[in-house]
């Protein structure tokens, strides 16, 4: 159960980070569209985890959510003041996606080992979604730099 609670906190943080990036993003409509889409997927995965927790008489951990929120806020603050904030956010998003993949794969193994067919069925789509997102990112190396090379110009602060 603890792994499900942790995955829920992680997914909640992902949705918050993506929403915050969208709020700050300017002049990058394609990236904004992708971030909004990814945020929606994170919220759907979080809803699946909510369902699994409720079915077992448990709930998300407010402490975990608060702790991950604090860490994410600190990371967001450091990225926001940098000249290459959009790229740094893209790199962080890529790493975060792989953390989600590992988390969901582990949850799936645990649910299968416990013979928990409802949880297994609910979890089966989550790692596949995260893997598709990560693959799309891998297929577009450093998209923020390619979409606006001026963002990479020293001394120019991007609007994010």
**CA-based torsion, 20, 26, 28, 33: positive or negative:** positive
Residue 157 reports pLDDT greater than 60 = no
Residue burial 50-67, b: 16+ Cβ < 10 Å; e: rest:
bebbeeeeeebbeebbee
Please state, in angstroms and as integers, the Cα–Cα distance from residue 90 to each residue in 51, 137, 142, following that order.
30, 9, 8
Domains in the chain, start-ordered, CATH in brackets?
Answer: 2-148 (1.20.1260.10)
pTM of the model: 0.70
**CA-based torsion, 29, 13, 80, 143: positive or negative:** negative
Give dist(CA 99, CA 146) in Å, integer: 25
From 5-9, 27-31, 99-103, 140-144, the region with the lowest mean pLDDT: 140-144
- Report, as an integer, the average pLDDT of 61-69: 66
Which has more pLDDT, 158 or 110?
A: 110
Q: How many Cβ atoms are within 10 Å of 68's Cβ, its own excluded?
A: 20
Report whether 100 contacts 10 (CB < 8 A): yes
pLDDT tens, residue by residue, 67-121: 666 666 666 666 556 667 777 777 777 788 888 899 989 999 999 999 999 999 8
């Amino acid at each position: 159960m603890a792994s499900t609670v942790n995955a829920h906190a992680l997914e909640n943080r992902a949705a918050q980070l993506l929403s915050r990036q969208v709020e700050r993003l300017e002049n990058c409509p394609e990236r904004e569209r992708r971030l909004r889409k990814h945020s929606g997927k994170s919220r759907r995965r979080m809803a699946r985890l909510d369902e699994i927790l409720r079915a077992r008489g448990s709930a998300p951990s407010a402490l975990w959510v608060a702790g991950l929120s604090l860490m994410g806020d600190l990371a967001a603050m450091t990225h926001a003041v940098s000249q290459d904030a959009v790229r740094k956010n893209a790199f962080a998003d890529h790493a975060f996606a792989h953390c989600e993949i590992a988390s969901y794969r582990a949850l799936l193994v645990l649910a299968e080992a416990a013979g928990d067919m409802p949880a297994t069925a609910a979890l089966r789509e989550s790692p596949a979604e995260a893997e598709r997102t990560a693959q799309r990112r891998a297929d577009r190396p450093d998209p923020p730099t390619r979409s606006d090379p001026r963002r990479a110009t020293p001394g120019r602060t991007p609007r994010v």
